[in-house]
A and B are shown apart, each in its own frame.
Chain A
Amino acid sequence: MEKSYIVKQISIFSENRPGRLAAIAGALRDAGINIFAFSIAEADGFGVVRALVDRPEDAHRTLTDLGFRVSFTDVIGVKMRDEPGGLSEIASILGDAGINIEYAYAYSGRDGAVLILRVDQAEDAVRQILARGGELLKASLSQ
């Protein structure tokens, strides 16, 4: 049950220099893979590009074949109302549930806004959020 809410994010190692995002995005475009959401985390001279895509397995294979270092990371997507107070509502649920966020990013699409979370115990977090009336993105949407 909880597993069906665990979404596979692809994480791609990238050097911090011009053209690297273009190379990744170009490869996904050529493979006809759609990106819902993405973020870039940056450290000393390198970064990790994180993305939610419609076909994670294909994206993983495509990028790996091109020589990128790619891995899957389990994340969850919490739906938010796309209006003032939407994030606040969700943040209170997470706080009340004692969920510690490692990192997060968000997107706002046709079906509303989604907060993507990387947490320690994903299944536990799913249970807590659902129990407090939160609504989660189904993993099947991105398979």
Chain B
Amino acid sequence: MFWNRAMETIRPDELADLQLKRLKWTLSQAQEVGLYKRKFKEAGVSPDEIRTLDDVEKLPFTYKKELQAGYPFGLFAVPMKKIVRIHTTSGTTGKPTVVGYTRQDLENWSELIARNMTMIGLGEDDIFQNAVNYGLFTGGLGFHYGAEKIGATVVPSATGNTRRQIEMIEDFGVTAIHCTPSYALHLAEVAESMGKTLDTLKTGIFGAEPWSESMRTELERRLGVKAFDSYGLSEMYGPGVAFECPEHDGLHIWHDCYLVEIIDPKTGERLSPGERGELVITPLVKEALPLVRYRTGDVTRLMEDGCSCGRGQKIARITGRSDDMLVIRGINVFPSQIEHVLRSLPEVGEQFMVYIDRVKHLDEMTIEVEMSRAGFSGELQDLARMQKKIAGELHNTLGLRTAVKLVEPGSLPRFEGKAKRVIDRRGAI
């Protein structure tokens, strides 16, 4: 099933024309942004020189830290009166990245979600539980409006209270659910403990964190669903950038809205189709926040074979990151953010370690900090207060609960070369 058959199955030559036209439009939109005026000048390239799609290689990359430097609205290409919503995502050193949306941007975004959901057979007969964070996180509202667009009955359950989520699935006869894969597994476990079989549930949409084929098998078995991988990032609206079709063999990237390249993250050179590298995206229809060759940090490859569903370009499932970004319960966390918070606290010494574990299928982050000399008054309650303060500051910045452990000075490892302060003990999901 297609939501927009013409666009989803557009002929390659027509697509190339459309992409080039939209690329030129995006570059003119980018010219409205100080950052891009400067970057084009520095790179010695003028948007007029972009005459073919391959010319995109002449353009400079955009990095996440540049978006953060424009905090809050410095990268918007339209006046604020045209911005109808903002979402934020974590930055690399404390300040978040702010993503603005015009009315047309929201329309484009919900169109893409509608395509994704229709592609996997969902429609107005479905009852769709959207069990992700609503609010600044793009997953909630993004799917919400796309699901309404296809006429599904939306249950905006958001996150938390797992038993209630399970009751809703049962009582409302929910047929499709969207959540993180780790939360889905937790849901399955709680449902099993409640003796619920969730018979109405047929479709699971899982995203915001990478997950493996063995995880797919387990989720499909335990929840009784067909599991689909959803890829997106807030900088590109949010979820909906690429999505699995019923073939379950790669994710279709919405070719009329996103121009993709795979590069070697070290050299920045473009890799041939089939080679694994960092995904670089130039959005083609974004009004409020146009981006040029955005470095996603996600590692994948372009798949060469066509798809029997008739849609275009696919990327392989994301296998990791080309940088040190962590995904904890669907939230992006950079070790530099943690460092930034800890360094600003006088009670905390130089050394810290971060451990990530999966406890009952949910990610838990533990941060061990050494106390500074100034930090110890001798009173137990001051230590407890300090522990709470550190956890509070981290929560403010990361949007994530963490367990803070105070440890003795000298007990954490010292690094001579590159410090390895983050130990991810989760293994593959």
Interface positions of A (Cβ within 8 A of B) = 11, 13-15, 20, 41, 43-48, 67-73
Contacts and interface: CB of A to CB of B under 8 A. Distances in A.
Given A45-B406, A67-B409, A69-B409, A13 B387 contact: no
A44 B380 CA distance: 10
Contact of B371 (A11, A13, A44): A13
B193 interface: no
The CB with the most chain B CB atoms within 10 A, among A11, A14, A41, A69, is that of A69
Given A67-B408, A67-B410, A48 B379 contact: yes
A68 B405 CA distance: 16
Prevailing SS type, chain A contact patch = strand
A71 B409 contact: no
| Minimum-distance CB pairs A-B, first 9 | A11-B378, A71-B378, A69-B376, A67-B410, A73-B378, A41-B380, A48-B380, A46-B406, A67-B409
B9 interface: no
Contacts, number: 51
A13 B408 contact: yes
Contacts of A14: 408
B411 interface: yes
A123 B383 CA distance: 25
B411 A15 contact: yes
Contact of B379 (A11, A44, A45, A46): A11
Contacts of B376: 11, 13, 69-71
B407 A69 contact: no
B409 to A, nearest CB: 5
Contacts of B383: 13, 43, 46, 48
B38 interface: no
B372 to A, nearest CB: 9
Contacts of B375: 69
Contacts of A15: 406-408, 411
Nearest to A73: B378
B384 interface: yes
Nearest to A42: B380
Nearest to B384: A43
B373 A69 contact: yes
B355 to A, nearest CB: 13
Nearest to A41: B380
Given A11-B379, A48-B378, A69 B371 contact: yes
A43 B380 contact: yes
A4 to B, nearest CB: 21
Interface in B366-394: 371, 373, 375-380, 383-384, 387
Nearest to B377: A71
